[in-house]
Structure 1
Amino acid sequence: MDTGDWRYAVGLVVNLAFVFCEFGAGLIADSTALLADAGHNLSDVLGLAMAGGAAWLARRGAHGAAGGRRTYGFGKATVLAALGNALLLIFACGAIAFEAVRRFAEPAPVGSGVIMTVAAIGFFINLGTALLFMKSQHDLNARGAYLHMMADAGVSLGVVAAGGLIMLTGWSLVDPIVSLVIVAVILWSTWGLLKDSVNLAMDGAPADVDVAKLEKALLGLAGVRAVHDLHVWGLSTTETALTAHLVHDREDGVALLMEAQALAKRHSIRHTTLQLESEALPDCPGC
């Protein structure tokens, strides 16, 4: 198994087992917050499965097959998985909010002791799973998994707090109130992931690449007189590609190519396609 796969596998197995336990406990305790947490955990299990599968696909076809239809491989699968994770979180938030609002109209007593115990276990499981991905947040796909698990840890912690307040006050409306607060926190944390994944899905430049700064740096290379048709986009959540035309007046074109490629690597771009155009040649629209 690849070193990246085991994190997804561990998170998937542990969280799937906990989902079944938490769902059963939620039914026993009649807790909206606990059932909502179980549903949110289930979305994370699906998210981890998507993220792990996408990461495997990206490695399997990292360079594409010669003569194949997907010449860039399956790297884009990681972007689609990150987008799917964000949408799953938003869907889970909608389900939690709907059930919480319904409980305001139909309040019911809940088992606070069961809520606190199960949610506390869930907190440590989610936090431990999140820590597996903490060092890989440069990868948008792994970042999605990390945000999923940290959000779930926050949900579980909120449920523990709700159980404690219910135990102390006997006020069952604490259950849906805490659920709505948690929804707001999750939506706030998901917005950045959704925005970045949509940007990459539409072949936008990754957030960590300043295209204007990159163009200025290319123009700063010795002999480069103009840069046009500059395109930067994400091949995956970890790989970035660049294409550009460089108009120059140098005689050592090979050296210029090497300098430009080295410059691109300093901007975290590993896949570059550069076309050199002599300043002495007439303009060639569409070249």
Structure 2
Amino acid sequence: MTGQNPTHDHHDVHDDDHEHHDHDHETHDDHGHADGHHHHGIGGHSHAPVSFGRAFAIGMALNTIYILAEVFYGVAAHSLALLADAGHNLGDVVGLGGAWLAASLIRRHPTSRYTYGWGAASILAALGNAVLLLVVTGGIGWEAIRRLIAPEPAAGTTIMAVSAVGIVVNGATALLFAAGRKGDLNIKGAFMHMAADAVLAFGVVVAGGLILLTGWQWIDPAVSLVVSMAIVAGTWSLLRDSVNLSLNAVPPGIEQAAVQSFLDGLPGVTEVHDLHIWGLATTETALTAHLVLVDGADHESLLRWLPGALNERFKIGHCTVQLESFETARICALRPAHVV
């Protein structure tokens, strides 16, 4: 990471002297310093996300086999609920594939072209999962309404048996991602897809049982419609968070005001401006800020301590801080925003 000695009029465009201080983020410690060298920069990085490759492989395999069974028995039993669940599962398999790809890309090192790496792929995958879930569920809802108007006979016993298997398959797959759902929006998307399928399968079992008890064929599409609406409601948070991250909003769980207050309270810091916080990936948060220091402040100690403190307190693992004197801060304030 790069910052500035308070005596220099220096912004984010570095001069030749500061170029010599550039460092490889993969080979430096969390404080962004190499032993034996004086740096004006700081940096902090969180550990690489836990790999869920095995979970993705198992989940995709189980659900692909189950989809084939659902399509076969759905056609044989004339069950919209089974066919709808099969379509839903197909969307989830595609979503799992995209999430798996993104989880692999996020671990790739930055390049000269993709200087932040491929972490944003996980944000796109989470957004794609949310949109796909809504589109597939919308299709199920539309067909359910059509079947409510013109009910078709369905075999309740077959529906119950196949869907009971679906509860086990989807529930087990969801459990594979449960451990990572709170720390990674991409993994949360995979978990929600599988959990939603388990709920939908349970609804189909209920529909099959009610059809056997009452003979009312409209129960099959009615249950599909109710479960679809529940899934849409549950998907809202995933859609909202992924859209926000794609727009460089402050990630969930971090309050910019709290970070501002923390930086304002640092020893020797009299002003904080140009503070930006955004997600580099679903598992990594970045920060940039300008700190105005009083004359004689121990900026070197601040640079060495701050990255670890931001990582520990706010889970911000990638930070760029520019240190400024009062004079530099005034010049910085007069420049157009796009120059800073």
Report the TM range for the smaller structure's normalisation.
over 0.9
1:166 has 2:211 as partner: yes
SS at match of 1:269: coil
Equivalent of 1:22 in 70, 74, 86? 70
| Aligned amino acid, residue 141 of structure 2 | A
Q: Give the 5 Å matches for 1:77-116.
A: 77-116=121-160
**Equivalent residue for 2:319?**
272
Q: Percent identity?
A: 48
Equivalent of 2:293 in 237, 248, 258? 248
> Hey, what's the Cα distance between the residues in 1 that align with 2:329 and 2:154?
79
> Hey, what's the Cα distance between the residues in 2 that align with 1:93 and 1:41?
10
Q: What is the deviation of 1:257?
A: 1.8
> Hey, what's the Cα distance between the residues in 1 that align with 2:96 and 2:328?
53
Contact 1:7 1:132 in 2 (8 A): yes
| Aligned amino acid, residue 80 of structure 1 | L
SS at match of 1:238: coil
Q: What is the deviation of 1:282?
A: 5.7
SS at match of 2:270: strand
SS at match of 1:232: strand
Q: What is the deviation of 1:268?
A: 0.1
Q: What is the deviation of 1:196?
A: 0.3
Contact 1:231 1:243 in 2 (8 A): yes
Contact 2:275 2:289 in 1 (8 A): yes
**Equivalent residue for 1:128?**
172
Higher share in helix: 1
Question: How many residue pairs get matched?
Answer: 282
**Equivalent residue for 1:179?**
224
SS at match of 1:178: helix
Query: Does the C-alpha gap of structure 1 residues 261 and 100 become closer, same or farther in structure 2, counting only changes over 3 Å?
Result: same
> Deviation string for 1:30-53 (max 9, x for gaps)?
011111000000011001000001
**Equivalent residue for 1:214?**
259
SS at match of 2:261: helix
**Equivalent residue for 2:303?**
257
> Deviation string for 1:113-144 (max 9, x for gaps)?
11000000001000000000101011000000
> Hey, what's the Cα distance between the residues in 2 that align with 1:281 and 1:232?
23
SS at match of 1:246: strand
SS at match of 2:195: helix
Q: Give the 5 Å matches for 1:132-143.
A: 132-137=176-181, 138-143=183-188
Q: What is the deviation of 1:281?
A: 4.5
- Which runs of 4 or more aligned residues in structure 1 lie more than 6 Å from their structure 2 counterparts after TM superposition? none
**Equivalent residue for 2:102?**
54
Q: What is the deviation of 1:108?
A: 1.2
Structure 1 unaligned spans of 5+: none
TM-score for the superposition, normalised by structure 2: 0.81
1:201 has 2:246 as partner: yes
Contact 2:248 2:278 in 1 (8 A): yes
Contact 2:51 2:103 in 1 (8 A): no
Structure 2 unaligned spans of 5+: 1-49
1:11 has 2:65 as partner: no
Contact 2:268 2:298 in 1 (8 A): no
TM-score for the superposition, normalised by structure 1: 0.96
> Hey, what's the Cα distance between the residues in 2 that align with 1:184 and 1:218?
44
> Deviation string for 1:209-242 (max 9, x for gaps)?
1111110011011111110000000000000000
